[in-house]
Structure 1
Amino acid sequence: MSPRTLLALNWKMNKTPTEAQAWAQDLAAAYAPAEGVDLAVMAPAICLPALAANLPAGVSVGAQDVSAHAAGAYTGEISASMLVDVGARYAVVGHSERRDYQGETDAVVAAKAAQAQAHGLTPIVCVGEKLEVRERGEHVPFTLDQLRGSLRGVGPDVVVAYEPVWAIGTGKTATADDAEELAGAIRGLLSELYGDQASNLRVLYGGSVKPDNIASICAQPNVDGALVGGASLKVADVLGMNDALK
């Protein structure tokens, strides 16, 4: 049996708690769940309580990052237990923006994913290549090496998001076949790491996903949903993507 589709919305650094509350209330007024589809909102940590209190039943919340440490003298960090306490179910780790801007390595990503799992969060582990890697034809081995390092010491309760860096926020989108090529390769690595459990793990595609392309991407055999950036900010776009998956 294929896993349920996951529509994971990554707000990035957008929306105040007040705006998040209004967004959640607007969604609740119009949202009709799509059969077999889970919806989750990855918001700034400060917005999570407002979301958890106002989102419609069945819609989950998650964080955009999590500390690699359980507690202690790590000023500015937010621990997995803190996120769980405000209702989070997921935590994104290893997004390309954090790898680039904060210099996060695969080892750091793996430590964060393991810390998330230790406290009951499901990590969404992001991997993907830059344009020059794809142009050299090395996108598959590069992404698999990145994923292998990012899952070292991490258990099978994980979601993997393939996000080609060249397609994030650029308006460029990998084709459905491109997404499937990497998703299939990722599934193979997950089988190598986790055996039969890999068939139940979700592999998402991310990168300029919109209401008009999400259905063709998610129709691919090894693509189990999407990690959506810009199109996640407007309720109308979210409803359009949800409807496209019905």
Structure 2
Amino acid sequence: MKRKIVAGNWKMNLNYNEAKDLLKKLIEYKDKFDTTTELIICPPTLYLSAFAEVLNGHDWVSLGAQNSYTVDNGAFTGEVSPSQLKSLGIKYGIVGHSERREFFNEDYTLLSKKVKALLHHGLSPIFCCGEQLQVRDSNVYKEFVMKQIEASLFGLKADEIEKVIIAYEPIWAIGTGKTATAEQAQEIHALIRSRISKEFGEKVGANVGIIYGGSCKPDNAKELFAQKDIDGGLIGGASLNADDFLAIANSFE
């Protein structure tokens, strides 16, 4: 059965009062969200503790972290460990976002370790992959995306990768106002699912969540989510508006 997943990546936005106001608005809307949708919000890390307390008992939405490190503790100033996230009840962690790859030089090996560390503590990684405009224009984008997935995820066991949510985010469509067409997005999602199925089996391939990110908005979410292999979205800017986030979360047919 097709999954329905919508995750909001707030990135480094909103001061604490603004973030609290957005969370309050989302809670006010809780009865309007489709209860069959896996709803996730990923606020800035320093808000997670307070948000976890506010959302205690609210099983309609889960919290995710935007970043985490590879070990449980130690002299790693500024980092946060999966075990610390688990202690707050955090259920998801974003790994491999294009901004982390580009600005913080996160490579395949590091991302593989991050994925395994999250899984070790029972958190589900939201693993991001995607290509730059020059890669797509060079017509090697399929190989590029598959390399990202194979290098960082194919060391997992079948029961582990089944817990990973893969987010395809064409970098050329993040924050640019450009969006991959539903057909372009479906092409890559189908390719990812086919490759996972070949490596780990048809059951795993069918069950793994594969979502789209890259200027996903209320006016295009329905068409994107209607595609056979698109299980939802990783939402950036639109997740900072409660009305837009609600509309996107309710865009499944």
TM bucket (normalised to shorter chain) is over 0.9
**Offset, 1:83:** 0.8
1:42-101, Cα deviation, whole Å (9 max, x unpaired): 111111123223345410000011101221111111000111111211000000000000
State which drifts further: 215-224 or 152-161.
Answer: 152-161
Instruction: State the 4+ residue runs in structure 1 displaced beyond 4 angstroms.
Output: none
* SS of residue matched to 1:178: helix
Query: Is 50-59 or 168-177 further displaced after alignment?
Result: 50-59
Q: Which amino acid aligns with 1:66?
A: S
Q: Tell me what 1:75 maps to.
A: 77
Q: Distance in 1 between matches of 2:54 and 2:24?
A: 6
Aligned residue for 2:95? Answer: 93
Which amino acid letter does the alignment assign opposite residue 193 of structure 1?
Answer: E
In structure 2, relative to structure 1, the CA distance for the partners of 1:84 and 1:108 (3 Å cut) is same
Q: What pairs up with 1:137-148 in 2 under 5 angstroms?
A: 137-148=139-150
Q: Secondary structure at the match of 2:218?
A: coil
- Give the gaps of 5 or more residues in structure 2: none
TM-score w.r.t. length of structure 2 = 0.93
TM-score normalized by structure 1? 0.95
Q: For 1:40 and 1:111, how far apart are their aligned partners in 2?
A: 23
Residue equivalent to 1:169: 175
What CA distance in whole angstroms lies between the structure 2 residues aligned with 1:193 and 1:69?
28
Identity %: 41
Q: In the superposition, relative to structure 1, how do residues 16 and 83 fare at CA in structure 2: closer, same or farther (>3 Å)?
A: farther
RMSD of aligned residue pairs (Cα, Å)? 1.4
**Aligned-partner Cα distance in 1 for 2:199–2:164:** 12
- SS state at 2:94 partner: strand
Aligned counterparts, 1:10-159, within 5 A: 10-31=9-30, 32-55=32-55, 56-154=58-156, 155-156=160-161, 157-159=163-165
Which whole-Å deviations, capped at 9, do the CAs of 1:137-163 have from their partners, x for residues lacking one? Answer: 111111001111121433222010000
Residues 162 and 205 in structure 1, CA contact (< 8 A), matched pair in contact too: yes
Across the two proteins, how many residue pairs are aligned to each other?
Answer: 245
Tell me, in whole angstroms, the C-alpha distance in 2 between the residues paired with 1:128 and 1:205.
Answer: 10
How far off is 1:35 after superposition? 4.4
- Select between 33-42 and 119-128 the one with higher mean Cα deviation: 33-42
Query: Residue type of the partner of 2:122?
Result: G
Unmatched 5+ stretches in structure 1: none
Cα deviation for residue 106 of structure 1 reads 1.1
Query: What is the aligned partner in structure 1 of residue 214 from structure 2?
Result: 207
Deviation at 1:14, TM superposition (A): 1.0
